[in-house]
Copies of this chain bind each other. A is one copy, B any other.
């Protein structure tokens, strides 16, 4: 079979690799139906962080085989894999934070027993802890639903996490920093939770259009001090109640915390890859809270999947380019050069 490997800065290859085999009793093998490239995949692609080997962590597919200890997931099931492995039975999973699963691991890394894990951008994938990791979609699954379902493996759940972490309630005023797929899904999530105003900060016309489709009531193109001033002016001169930070840079976090009104709350899901620190004094003096992290998207499937299935929730518009999985290198390039918001890949 073939899978995607990263060999270095801007070096993505679709290569022949051995078919995966069941290694633990709780494993399943999944044949990928659709996968995609994540904004966070661009960090190693750009050489900001370093990675070598299998890559990708978002996919949906059909179960091909299961280990002897797998009880819930059946051969032939259509499944959504979150961007991590989790058992859904440990204390952290039960508390709603499966990204802190005590047995958890990451695609492309080592599983809990030290076996190397597959990456998500491949044809076949070995899934550890299959009964926890995989969410079964009741079939049959209409092909048109696939992009929407695929967002539940990361970006829609992550946008939802930003909104939940910021405490978005009906009637709240919300600002979203970041117009990537996660930022756009955060707009959709805030709107879904009943926000009265949702401001998308974006200067890209195509992304603004998706933001409006997802429920943005306002677009702000300014950034930095100008952006903060605009947001404060829009909301009583003091700022918004909730700000969703979906980038992960220090600039974006500063934009977010300073756009929140005194007593406001920032929900942040942008991976702080560059290790930003947050100064407490400016947060303390204005009582601005920050909350967020690696989104426990597996926990959110129960809430979001029914709405995707009945057509109320349609986050799939974040995919504005579809390519064969074999052209995965072109998908990375399109996202790197911001020619695409997010690329869907089909084997």
Interface pair B280/A265, CB less than 8 Å apart: no
CA distance A277 to B277 in the complex (A): 6
- Asked if A99 is at the interface of the complex by the 8 Å CB criterion, the answer is yes
Interface pair A263/B294, CB less than 8 Å apart: no
Interface pair B268/A275, CB less than 8 Å apart: no
Interface pair B292/A262, CB less than 8 Å apart: no
Interface pair A92/B262, CB less than 8 Å apart: yes
- Asked if A253 is at the interface of the complex by the 8 Å CB criterion, the answer is yes
CA distance A338 to B288 in the complex (A): 32
- Asked if A165 is at the interface of the complex by the 8 Å CB criterion, the answer is yes
- Residues of A257-289 contacting chain B, CB below 8 A: 261-263, 265, 268, 271-272, 275-281, 283-289
One of B263, B284, B294 near A92 (C-beta < 8 A)? B263
- Asked if A306 is at the interface of the complex by the 8 Å CB criterion, the answer is no
Interface pair B289/A279, CB less than 8 Å apart: no
One of B91, B262, B272, B294 near A97 (C-beta < 8 A)? B262
Residues of A bordering B, CB below 8 Å: 91-92, 95-97, 99-100, 165, 236-238, 253, 261-263, 265, 268, 271-272, 275-281, 283-294, 296
What are 19 A-B pairs at a CB distance below 8 A?
A91-B236, A91-B237, A91-B238, A95-B263, A96-B263, A97-B286, A97-B287, A99-B287, A271-B284, A275-B281, A277-B278, A277-B279, A278-B278, A283-B293, A284-B293, A284-B294, A288-B293, A289-B291, A290-B290
